[in-house]
Structure 1
Amino acid sequence: MNVASILSTKGHDVITEKSTTLLSDICTTLAEHKIGAIVIADDAGHIEGIISERDIVKAIGTSGPTALEKPVSEVMTKSVVTCTDADSVNAVMAKMSAGRFRHVPVTDDGKVTGVISIGDVVKFKIAQAEMEAEQMRSYISMT
């Protein structure tokens, strides 16, 4: 199965912010939307970076509370690993494991079209395993 399978049920909604947004405002947006990361994009939708809860904790741990007064561009991860709708779920899981991150933006022609989280992947994998188990039970009961 591929990323498009996850996005077909999850949707393509993406919360983005500008690189000039203050880190304190990023924290507010994360809390309001109950999400763990925000894609930082320009007006055309091209990814400039990503900011996660882990990035914020690191910034505060290094600079103290004054980090919240910085623009997100000073704190965000600028080298963003992405995927496409066509990528397999297993390939995205491998990227997350190798990079030790929990959110991967989905892109099409360089523009963000969705975000896949580790929670989305786990939910998808559990549903897939349950479906396979049900098919096996159905097959066994027919024989």
Structure 2
Amino acid sequence: MSVAAILNSKGRDVIAERGETLLGDVCKVLGKNRIGAILVTDPEGHIEGIISERDIVRAIGESGTAALSEPVSRFMTSKVVTCAEADSINEVMAKMTAGRFRHVPVLEDGKVAGVISIGDVVKHKIAQVEHEAEQMRQYITMT
């Protein structure tokens, strides 16, 4: 299965902020939307970085609550690993495991087509296994 299958079922909405957005404001957006990461983009929509809950915890651990009044660009991860819609789910899982991150932007023709999380991948894998098990049950009962 491909990344496109996940995006087709979960949607392609992407929430992004600019690098000058304050970390505290990013926290509000994360909470309001019940998501774990936000892309940081330039005015043209190109990815400059990603800020995750983990990055925020690290920022507060290093700078205290004063970090919340700083621009998100100070704390974001700037080397963002991406994938394409045609990539297999196994390839993306391997990237997530190797890099120890939970969110991957999906690029198509150089533009952001969506973001998938480890939760999206696991949910899709579970549905796939359940479907295969049901197919196996049907096959066994037919013989």
Partner of 1:51: 51
1:30-45 paired onto structure 2 within 5 Å: 30-45=30-45
TM-score normalised by L of structure 2: 0.98
Tell me how far 1:41 sits from its aligned partner: 0.9
State whether residues 2 and 85 of structure 1, in contact with CA within 8 Å, keep that contact through their aligned partners in structure 2. Answer: yes
**What whole-Å deviation, never above 9, does each CA across 1:62-115 have from its counterpart, x for those lacking one?**
011101111011000000000010000000000000000000000112221100
Partner of 1:11: 11
1:1-143 paired onto structure 2 within 5 Å: 1-143=1-143
Tell me how far 1:44 sits from its aligned partner: 1.8
**What whole-Å deviation, never above 9, does each CA across 1:37-64 have from its counterpart, x for those lacking one?**
0001112221000000000000000011
3-state SS of 1:115 partner:
strand
State whether residues 47 and 110 of structure 1, in contact with CA within 8 Å, keep that contact through their aligned partners in structure 2. Answer: no
Q: Percent identity?
A: 69
CA RMSD of aligned residues (A): 0.6
In structure 2, how many angstroms separate the alpha carbons of the residues matched to 1:9 and 1:43?
28
Tell me how far 1:121 sits from its aligned partner: 0.3
3-state SS of 2:84 partner:
coil
3-state SS of 1:94 partner:
helix
In structure 1, how many angstroms separate the alpha carbons of the residues matched to 2:108 and 2:130?
31
Q: How many residues align?
A: 143
In structure 1, how many angstroms separate the alpha carbons of the residues matched to 2:80 and 2:139?
44
In structure 1, how many angstroms separate the alpha carbons of the residues matched to 2:62 and 2:20?
20
Show structure 1 runs of 5+ residues with no match: none
Show structure 2 runs of 5+ residues with no match: none
Which residue identity lines up with residue 131 of structure 1 in the other structure? H
TM-score normalised by L of structure 1: 0.98
Runs of 4+ residues over 2 Å off in structure 1: none
**What whole-Å deviation, never above 9, does each CA across 1:14-41 have from its counterpart, x for those lacking one?**
0000111000000000000000000011
